[in-house]
């Protein structure tokens, strides 16, 4: 496995993409409020509709879960020991990161689409790395 390529393509780029989406397309985020003043004309694109909502709200979660899964797969491969049910653990972490919003934090909103995006990203990242990167 080329660790640098995997970390760059599967971890860093998705995190960067998710952060840019979060900053440029959402004006109601905590990060946007801290980095920009009220007069800033962001988001750059005034997107509306179902596809726009998926891009604004689910795609950053997808990118985060994709990156986390890639980092965990790299760590597991570097560690070298087999871990039974490793994919199941990754799915539980991805799902748990969304499900925790139901009970612990005020101000966070749980959405079933976020849960689906997180689990889909974890599975996709896992299988892409297994198929194309581990030799």
Which percentage of the chain shows pLDDT scores above 90? 47
Quick check: 70 and 125 in contact, CB under 8 A? Answer: yes
Of 17-21, 49-53, 60-64, 106-110, give the lowest mean pLDDT range. Answer: 106-110
Q: What is the residue-averaged pLDDT of the chain? A: 86
Q: What is the pTM of this model?
A: 0.83
- Return the pLDDT at 26: 76
Would you state the pLDDT for residue 65? 96
Of the ranges 48-62, 88-102, 113-127, which one carries the lowest mean pLDDT score? Answer: 48-62
pLDDT band for position 3 (cuts 50, 70, 90): confident
Q: How far apart are CA 131 and CA 123, in angstroms?
A: 12
> pLDDT tens digit string along 9-55?
999 999 999 988 887 777 666 666 777 666 665 555 566 788 888 88
Cα distance between residue 77 and residue 3, in whole Å: 10
Count CA atoms closer than 13 A to 61's CA, side-chain side: 25
Q: Which of 35-49, 54-68, 76-90, 115-129 has the lowest mean pLDDT?
A: 35-49
pLDDT at 91: 96
Report DSSP state, residue 24.
H
Q: How far is Cα 111 from Cα 54, in angstroms, rounded to an integer?
A: 11
Which sequence spans correspond to the domains of the chain?
Answer: 3-132
Higher pLDDT, 117 or 46: 117
């Amino acid at each position: 496995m080329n660790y640098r390529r995997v970390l760059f393509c599967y971890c860093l780029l998705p995190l960067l993409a998710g952060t840019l989406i979060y900053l440029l397309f959402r004006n109601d985020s905590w990060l946007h409020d801290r980095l920009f003043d009220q007069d800033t004309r962001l988001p750059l694109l005034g997107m509306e509709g179902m596809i726009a909502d998926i891009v604004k709200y689910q795609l950053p979660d997808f990118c985060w879960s994709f990156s986390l899964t890639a980092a965990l797969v790299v760590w597991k491969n570097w560690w070298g020991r087999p871990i039974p049910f490793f994919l199941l653990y990754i799915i539980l972490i991805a799902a748990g990161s969304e499900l925790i919003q139901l009970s612990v934090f005020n101000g966070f909103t749980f959405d079933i689409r976020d849960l689906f995006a997180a689990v889909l990203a974890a599975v996709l990242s896992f299988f892409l790395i297994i198929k194309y990167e581990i030799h």
